[in-house]
Amino acid sequence: TCGGTLKGLNGTIESPGFPYGYPNGANCTWVIIAEERNRIQIVFQSFALEEEYDYLSLYDGHPHPANFRTR
């Protein structure tokens, strides 16, 4: 699957086909849920994108311009 919801103290996010390439046109959305007033720490152990075509965006809340944090 490509995307989903993570709850709890830890979890793993992987692209489809990991550790090999992901399919063209993949659009994965992951929702990470933490208890109120808790922080979420994201650690990348392996990360590669096709420059000029692919990107990662992070939002604090729903994907809306007001919630955008980084790309």
- Over residues 13-71, the pLDDT tens digits come to 998 888 888 888 889 999 999 998 899 999 999 988 888 889 999 999 888 999 999 88
Q: How many CA atoms lie within 13 A of 38 on its CB side?
A: 11
Distance of CA 2 to the CA centre of its chain: 10
Distance of CA 5 to the CA centre of its chain: 10
pTM of the entire structure?
0.79
Is the CB of residue 59 less than 8 Å from the CB of residue 70? no
**C-alpha span between 41 and 58 (Å, rounded):** 12
**C-alpha span between 34 and 6 (Å, rounded):** 9
